[in-house]
Structure 1
Amino acid sequence: MTMTDQSICKQTLAFDLDSYLQARKAIVEKALDQSLRVGEPPQIYEAMRYSLLAGGKRLRPILCLATCELVGGSIEMAMPTACALEMIHTMSLIHDDLPAMDNDDYRRGKLTNHKKFGEDIAILAGDGLLAYAFEYIATYTQGVEPAAVLKVVSKLGHAVGATGLVGGQVVDLASEGNPDINLETLNYIHTHKTGALLEACVVSGAILGGATEEDLGRLSRYAYDIGLAFQIVDDILDITATQEELGKTAGKDLEADKATYPRLLGLEASKAKADELTEAACAELASYGDSAMALQAIAQLIANRKN
């Protein structure tokens, strides 16, 4: 990391990230609400909407919109995919909270889906959101070459299946209570369970916007770095934050004896690793200049978030 890279990363302090995120979150929330109306049978649609519209930072769809704009695309081109990404993310949260998985009663300060609607409906709500996400991209994406839409659909399928999120979750569950988990296995869990979908958010927006292969390479590396940093900070917050700050039960990783960065490296080394990844992410975008300030500021936010 050169001094130039570091100074570019620090320049994001002048960027009004709060205003940017509030404005983007508002348009994402409106689009999500419009994307999924109550139909028949109403119970399943209500369960799907309950979790989809439960709030949150909406970082994943915002990343998709931001990268599309960065390479010359528009918000309109990327919005259906941005909504679909939040549907997929919501599915992962619903299923992750189930008793057979992480067994949590709260998410974003509200009762988890299975606590509100029952385990059977919660499973089906997650399934419904996952299936609808792909339908939504294929049906509502406009102004984009069909080949690019197909590439995005393939990218998301890879990110959410056994090659990504599902595979990471399997290894995560298998690693609980195992004192011999090493850093290589932990990185696999984090980059697949969390990082794969984040990387898909970043890269899919760029694909829709007509990115070059060079763009995709830079943005993929940026996404890898912020994805791993995100999960490291998640590990740290599980130890240091309260339930009120997290919006979900604190201390779950410790209770389940999960493999985490703090368990393997300690808190301080984990924080240092998250900071190192953030600097690397910012450096990947240095050649874009001020156009990439939003993405660089989001990287800083991920490293410094409190929930």
Structure 2
Amino acid sequence: MNNFSLAAGILTVFCATGFGQEFADPAAQAPAPPPPAQQTPGAPPAPAQQNQNPRQINAKPDNTAPDDIDNVYLSFKAYYWLTNGTFNMRSGVKAVSPGDSTLPTLGDATKHNLGGQITFPAGKYNRLEVSYYQAHANGTSTAPQNLTFFGQNIPSGDFLSTSLRVRSLDVTWNYLTWPDPPENARLRIKTLWGFQWRSVQSIIDAPFETSATFSPAVGTINIFYPELGIGAEYVLSKYVYLDGRASGFAWPHRAVVWDADGNLVLRYKFVEVFGGYKASHLKTSPQGEEYVVGTFKGAYAGLRIVWR
């Protein structure tokens, strides 16, 4: 009896111990988390990486005034030109007798002529200019020698009535080279790139010539050339500025063309009034049968309407 009671007691203790371990709280059995790593006091946080390119530079703001003289969208200009000068005609390389015919008074260029210009936007502060003028010269003289021009023979001593008409067309890219943007700069430098055309028509008549085979010598010579030039503006005040330019092109033993002008401009809102001096020179190619040389020059004035 005592042995049985002892065995039962041992078995009871064993079962209680095993079941207690089996149904124990899992949270109590989970190992404790490790203590957090201690940070070194005073250590600054690592800086975040910047994606910005260190070479990238922000564009400088454009402080050019909306009514700046070069801030032009569209413009129209017309002018009156009081020209003077002389033109002459000479024999060219292909003439029957090269260098033998010279008419020093082909025309007197003291005339009143008109011209104009239209501009279009071609990049900020730059513009495309289409310029045109037509000028005339005429006169009377006596043939200094036997002349041959445009296939007509003119005896020495004949009374001559002559006239000349020049048509000029230029298509020019007016590029603001310095400074860009202009902002408050007083001096601005432009470069000019373009194409130019000149048409020179000459008429030589001998009204008292009695030969039945004679007819007036009439001919037209054209020049097609590129155009290179430079211009400058100087701003005196908000309402006054100076403007000048020179352009042209030449080739050895061929045609020569150049133009130059300078003027004072008074401006108010969308209207500009200008006046100054203008010159235009041409020499057609001496490689033909005849060629023309001369210069139109004189004071001019006009009006320009500007849209901004």
**Which protein has the bigger strand share?**
2
Q: Bigger radius of gyration, 1 or 2?
A: 2
Q: TM-score, normalised by structure 1?
A: 0.23
* TM superposition score normalised by structure 2: 0.23
Greater RCO, CA 8 A, separation 6+: 1
Q: Which has the higher helix share?
A: 1
